[in-house]
Amino acid sequence: MTSPHEIVLASASPRRRELLQSVGISFAVVPSRAAEEVLPGETPEEHVIRLSKDKAREVADRPEAPGRWFIGSDTIVLRDDAILGKPEDVEDAALMLRSLSGRSHRVLSGYAVFDRRSGSTVAGVVSTVVRFKELTAEEIAGYIATGEPLDKAGAYAIQGIGAFMVLGIEGSYTNVVGLPLCEVVEVLERLGAVRLFEREE
């Protein structure tokens, strides 16, 4: 394992923090202040990869930030070609949930690991298909009343109460939570940042 300050998660997301902690990785948390606007002409995949890189670099470029490897990630919900971010208010959350009811959508997460020593970045994107059941007006109103949807992309949390809506997924579960753990850990191991399991001699 590495020192707790060699790897830095450039995110304030408690879900990303919990996912990394779940596999025993030691890291520091320094939330990124990178802007998260959508640029004209970029695809959803290009969007999440660019933001992931921007988040990692923004933190790495701060002289006071500790660490060598910086992890950035960005997650969006994609209904057809429309990007669903965090709802602006209760009405917006209800609109999103009604639009996802009874159908499938995609969750895209970009990830980037920036090595401050070499100046190189490894980045990628993971896509997961999520299928919702038909939601009643009462279910939508009741779920919104819990407050859970209001700070989540697409207005739901698969790891929370929102799990009641999910009929099934195709692909990575951790990707939907907010960080494609398998891919990120693989990159960290390949770069020599972590070794989850010591090899027997």
Q: In the structure encoding, which two tokens stand for residue 50, read together?
A: 């660019």
Whether pTM exceeds 0.85: yes
Average pLDDT over every residue of 61-82: 94
Options 3.30.530.20, 3.90.950.10, 3.40.50.300, 3.90.550.10; CATH of 7-190: 3.90.950.10
Average pLDDT taken over every residue of the chain: 94
Q: What pLDDT was estimated at residue 199? A: 67
Confidence at 200, pLDDT banded by 50, 70, 90: low
Please give the backbone phi and psi of residue 173, each rounded to the nearest 5 degrees, phi first: -70, -45
Residues annotated catalytic, as ranges:
74
Q: What is the pLDDT of residue 7?
A: 97
Q: Cα dist. 197→1, 98, 179, 189 in Å?
A: 9, 44, 21, 10
Decide if pLDDT at 4 tops 60. no
82-102 pLDDT, tens per residue? 899 889 999 999 999 999 999
DSSP codes of every residue in 18-60: HHHHHTT---EE-------PPPTT--HHHHHHHHHHHHHHHHH
Query: Tens of pLDDT along 172-199?
Result: 999 999 999 999 999 999 999 998 887 6
CA dist 160 and 82 (Å) reads 24
Interval 115-158: pLDDT, tens: 999 999 999 999 999 999 999 999 999 999 999 999 898 999 99
Write the DSSP assignment of 89-144 as a string of letters: SHHHHHHHHHHHTTSEEEEEEEEEEEETTT--EEEEEEEEEEEEPPPPHHHHHHHH
Confidence of residue 2 (pLDDT cuts 50, 70, 90): very low
pLDDT in the model for residue 125: 98
7-54 tens-digit pLDDT: 999 999 999 999 999 999 999 999 999 998 888 999 999 999 999 999
> Does 1 score more than 50 pLDDT?
no
